[in-house]
């Protein structure tokens, strides 16, 4: 390397360090400007979350309406048959279901749970599914090739695909990422008249959830759904009855789903580095003297 090149690379390095610092400084400013609620711990590390208290939900489905308005989706049907379990699809990102339980009828809002370590984002080969540092898992149209591997990997079958479009999108709750950027709360949280949903940092929402359980131990199941499920989610649930009774899966485990492919992916670099020399070695070892005849090039 010539001396001039060394100097030049040093300059580039120094410059990028300076720029990096600058960017970090800026991001703090940007964060303050959006006036997101301050968290108890490091705000940059703490994602945002929603706490759903199913004991407070009245099943009015105003969240469905607010969601549809926010995302330009068809308006939800005014009356629904609650005896049939409804599911989110490409035209509705959140639905409310009612369950007959040991403690009467319970209404439960469901949508993407915005996992802390999302299977869909780790499955995506273009990072179209992306876990933002603010918490929401968002989908980016310019990257997605429509392979639907996110749908295969999501343990909750959340991502939905527009099967009848020539330019199909993956559709799901984005946790109103744009609104969060403006310092607002998600549309469904704002639209909830019963106070069944609350928005804040995940640490705050967990604290709030546990506080309610401690203050009214007879009212709640002593667990916050989403604190540990699949490594933790950004939507947290409180319930008076076991979570399986209200359609929240408890069989998904506490390990993040992407951990299932981690071992395989770790093996890849070793296979790539170790197999070719082994093959070349065997090929050398099996060479006979007659094989040395070379083709004239």
* Positions that interact with another protein (CB under 8 A): 87, 89-90, 119, 122-127, 142-149, 151-153, 155, 157, 160-168, 249, 251-252, 257-258, 260-261, 263-265, 268, 271-272, 275-276, 279-280, 282-284, 286-288, 290-297
Q: Calculate the CA 142 to chain-centre distance.
A: 19
Among residues 114, 139, 116, which one has the least CA distance to residue 46?
A: 116
Q: Calculate the CA 294 to chain-centre distance.
A: 58
CB of 121 to another protein, least distance (A): 8
Q: Which is nearer to another protein, 161 or 210 (CB)?
A: 161
CB of 100 to another protein, least distance (A): 19
Q: Which is nearer to another protein, 11 or 254 (CB)?
A: 254
CB of 22 to another protein, least distance (A): 23
Q: Which is nearer to another protein, 123 or 196 (CB)?
A: 123
Q: Which is nearer to another protein, 48 or 123 (CB)?
A: 123
CB of 250 to another protein, least distance (A): 11
CB of 133 to another protein, least distance (A): 16
Specify the residue for token string 């993956």: 170
Q: Which is nearer to another protein, 128 or 205 (CB)?
A: 128
CB of 287 to another protein, least distance (A): 7
Q: Which is nearer to another protein, 94 or 201 (CB)?
A: 94
Among residues 64, 57, 43, which one has the least CA distance to residue 237?
A: 57
| Distance between start and end Cα atoms, the chain | 35
**Interatomic CA distance for residues 63 and 69, integer angstroms:** 10
CB of 108 to another protein, least distance (A): 19
Tokens of 111: 């949508």
Q: Which is nearer to another protein, 131 or 212 (CB)?
A: 131
Q: Which is nearer to another protein, 31 or 148 (CB)?
A: 148
CB of 226 to another protein, least distance (A): 17
């Amino acid at each position: 390397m010539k001396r001039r090149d060394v100097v030049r690379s040093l300059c580039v390095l120094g410059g990028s360090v300076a720029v990096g610092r600058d960017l970090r400084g800026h991001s703090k400013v940007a964060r303050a400007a959006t006036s997101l609620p301050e968290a108890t711990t490091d705000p940059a590390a703490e994602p945002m979350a929603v706490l759903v208290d199913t004991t407070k939900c009245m099943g009015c489905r105003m969240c469905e309406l607010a969601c549809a308005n926010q995302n330009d989706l068809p308006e939800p049907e005014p009356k629904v048959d609650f005896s049939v379990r409804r599911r989110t699809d490409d035209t509705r990102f959140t639905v409310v279901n009612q369950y007959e339980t040991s403690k009467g009828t319970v209404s439960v809002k469901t949508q993407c749970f915005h996992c802390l370590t999302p299977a869909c984002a780790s499955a995506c080969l273009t990072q179209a599914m992306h876990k933002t540092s603010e918490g929401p898992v968002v989908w980016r149209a310019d990257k997605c090739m429509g392979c639907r591997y996110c749908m295969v990997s999501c343990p909750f079958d959340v991502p939905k695909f527009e099967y009848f479009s020539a330019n199909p999108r993956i559709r799901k709750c984005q946790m109103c990422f744009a609104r969060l950027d403006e310092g607002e709360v998600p549309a469904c949280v704002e639209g909830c008249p019963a106070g069944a949903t609350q928005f804040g940092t995940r640490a705050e929402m967990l604290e709030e959830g546990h506080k309610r359980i401690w203050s009214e131990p007879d009212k709640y199941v002593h667990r916050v759904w989403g604190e540990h499920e699949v490594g933790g989610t950004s939507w947290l649930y409180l319930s008076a009855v076991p979570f399986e009774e209200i359609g929240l899966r408890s069989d998904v485990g506490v390990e993040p789903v992407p951990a299932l492919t981690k071992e395989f992916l770790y093996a890849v670099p070793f296979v790539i580095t170790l197999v070719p020399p082994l093959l070349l070695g065997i090929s050398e070892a099996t060479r006979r003297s007659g094989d040395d005849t070379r083709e004239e090039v």
